Amino acid sequence: MSAEYKYDIDNFEVSNDMKKNFDKDGYTLIRNLFSKDEVHKIEKTITEGGMMKHSYMLLGVEELYHYHCKFLIKEPKVGGSFEWHQDYGYWYNYCLSPDMLAVFIAVDECTQENGGLVVLRGTHKCGRVDHGKTGGQQGADIERVELLKKQYELVNVDLQPGDVLFFHCNLLHCSGPNNSEKRRLAINVSYNEKSNSPVKPDICPEYTKLEKVSDTAILECQNYTDFSGKNFIKRGDDKLVDFADQTSSYEKSG
């Protein structure tokens, strides 16, 4: 396992050690980045705020912006596996450079028992692997992956609620099926560099400046249901839809 770090709201900063480990391994694990109370609020927003209607069964110094996010749910006994892939394998057609990363936030316990993450440590240095249809999914070339598995360490990334994994967009990763009695709920937030804004029309946005909020913003927030101004990808045709258009029978509250 790569070096792990534990979040302390009163004493935490991104250190040179963290950056070195990210560059070497392609990922960095922050334990307890979100507290139990914060995780509860995040879960409530997903499960009670209407987001389920839209469900599908550290880079240098340049300014980052929010590319997109999604919640990932594997229900007990039915949650399927995800084939080996790189996130840049999907984004390559829109963004010219792999100056992007993903942030995987565990809302539930995410272990190998219920379909947790597996990564090939250091494979972010191997460049983009060709992607195509694999097992009915868009996945990395199987032959290439098998060769890389002979040279790079396979790491099971087990996370507790509130733990967060930051990983490079070229890091090969996958996840197994959920054969347990426990749900596996997580949020995956993707970030892009300002200069790497999509060069082709895309369902994901061009550069928009991020406004940083306080470390206590989640704890202070009481809004679980109002998604005004937010867009969701419409299931099946990869088109954006306004949340308000999909909630005519849902009463939103501020």
Per-residue pLDDT of the chain (254 residues; tens, 9 = 90+): 557 898 888 888 888 888 999 999 999 999 999 888 888 888 887 777 665 554 443 655 578 899 988 888 899 998 788 899 999 998 998 999 999 999 999 999 999 999 999 999 999 999 999 998 876 778 999 999 999 999 999 999 999 999 999 999 999 999 999 999 999 999 999 999 999 999 987 677 788 888 888 888 888 988 888 878 777 776 555 544 443 333 322 222 22
Q: How many distinct helices (H) and strands (E) make up the chain?
A: 5, 14
Report the 3 state secondary structure along 84-140: EECHHHHHCCCCCCCCEEEEEEECCCECHHHCCEEEECCHHHHCCCCEEEECCEEEE
Other Cβ atoms closer than 10 A to 196:
21
Q: What is the C-alpha to C-alpha distance for residues 203 and 52, in angstroms, rounded to an integer? A: 19
| pLDDT for res 60 | 59
| pLDDT for res 252 | 24
Domain ranges of the chain: 1-9+36-196
Q: Does domain 1-9+36-196 have CATH number 2.60.120.620?
A: yes
